Structure 1
Amino acid sequence: MKRSDRLYWLSKRQRQCLALVERGMSSKEIARHLQIAPSTVDNHIKLALARLNCYTRQQAASLLHEERRSASRTQPLPSLARR
């Protein structure tokens, strides 16, 4: 299974939480930022970890970061040829 396939199954909120974990935010900080309860943040992260087969928040955030990098590398370059 490709990484992108695994990320596809995450909810929008799970991806948002992981993106904020990637920035180094704690559950309390994420909760304030998204205006939800810290326990809800922990639940979103717990479910995301299970879907990604990750054991730690940092491992999941790293996976998200790598996916973003690989996605930016696979986009086609604009053609430089004159028409």
Structure 2
Amino acid sequence: MQEEIEHKTVNFAISTTKLSARTLLRGMQFLLRQYDKHASQGKQSMKRLVRQNRGVTNVEIQKTGIKDFDRYAKRYHIDYSIQKDLSC
């Protein structure tokens, strides 16, 4: 009789641990998705932009058009990094 009670107690402790681990895992996955949605928008460093793994392209913008580009990038939630062309 005592062994059955101990066995049931151990089983209850294990199932409770599994439940809490699953709940914690789901919560962490939810927070990670929310962070990915909001954390990476707008002007960033080149290193952070490449780390997103979404593909990077170059677009030439004249010095006078940077403010206009910035306005459209904010409106359409475009991630970008501005770098000066060193070849000129």
Q: Answer whether TM exceeds 0.5 for this pair.
A: no
Name the TM-score, length of structure 2 as normaliser. 0.29
Name the TM-score, length of structure 1 as normaliser. 0.30
